[in-house]
Structure 1
Amino acid sequence: MAKKQTESLTLEDVRPRLVRTAFVPALVAVTDEPDYVDDETVLGADDVTASKVGGAPFLSKEAPAPRCGECKQPLRFVLQLRRSDLPQAAQASLSGELLQLFWCDDCQSSGGAENPWSKGALIREVALGEPIEPGEEDEDDEDDEDALSVTFLRDWREVEDYPSTLVESLAAALAVSPKSEATRERLEALAEAMDEAELETLDGVKLAGWPRWVAEPETVKCKCKTPMQPVLQLGESAVVVGDGGTTWIVACPACGKKAYFCQQ
Structure 2
Amino acid sequence: MVPRRGSISSFLKTAFYTAREPVESLPDPIPSYKLTTWIPQVVDGDGDSNASKFAGTPWLLQDEQWPRCQHCDEPMPLFLQLNLEALPEALQKTFGSGLLQFFYCTSTEPHCETECRAFFPFSKSQLVRVIHPDSQHSPIENPDIPLSFPPKQIVSWDELDDYPNGEEAEMLGVDLVGSSWEILAERGFPRAGDKLGGWPHWVQGIEYPSCPICGEQMRLIFQLDSNDHLPYMFGDLGCGHITQCLTHKTQVAFGWACS
Normalized against structure 1, the TM-score is what?
0.73
For these two proteins, the number of residue pairs brought into alignment is: 224
Partner residue in 2 for 1:110: 115
Give the SS at the match of 1:105: coil
Preserved contact between residue 99 and residue 130 of structure 2 (Cα < 8 Å) = yes
* 1:120-199 equivalent positions in 2, closer than 5 A: 120-128=125-133, 129-134=135-140, 139-140=143-144, 142=146, 146=148, 149-164=150-165, 166=166, 168-173=167-172, 175-176=173-174, 186-194=176-184, 198=187
Structure 1 residue corresponding to 2:252, chosen from 252, 258, 263:
258
1:61 is displaced (CA, Å) by 0.9
Distance 1:192 1:260, change over 3 A: closer
Q: Which runs of 4+ in 1 moved over 4 A?
A: none
In the other structure, the counterpart of 1:56 is 57
- In the alignment, the residues of structure 2 paired with residue 109 and residue 133 of structure 1 have an alpha-carbon distance, to the nearest angstrom, of 33
Query: What SS is found at the alignment partner of 2:152?
Result: strand
Residue 13 of structure 1, CA deviation:
2.4
8 A contact 2:120–2:256 mirrored in 1: no
Aligned-pair CA distance for 1:141: 6.0
CA distance in 1, matches of 2:32, 2:65: 43
> Does the aligned pair in 1 maintain the 2:40–2:195 contact within 8 Å?
yes
Q: Hey, what does 1:5 align to over in structure 2?
A: none
- Name the SS for the 1:56 alignment partner: coil
Whole-Å Cα distance in 1 between the matches of residues 209 and 189 of structure 2? 23
Match of 2:241 in 1: 248
Q: Which runs of 5+ in 2 are unaligned?
A: 1-24
The answer to whether 1:218 aligns with 2:219 is: no
Distance 2:46 2:70 in 1: 31
TM-align CA RMSD: 2.6
> Is it true that 1:17 corresponds to 2:53 in the alignment?
no
Where does residue 189 of structure 2 map in the other structure? 200
- For the 8 Å contact 1:24–1:205, the answer to whether it is kept is yes
SS in structure 2 at match of 1:114: coil
Counterpart residue type for residue 28 of structure 2: D
- Cα deviation code 1:197-232 (max 9, x no counterpart): x36211112111100122233232222321111110
User: Does the 8 A contact of 2:77 with 2:105 survive in 1?
Assistant: yes
CA distance in 2, matches of 1:191, 1:102: 35
**Matched residue type, 1:248:** H
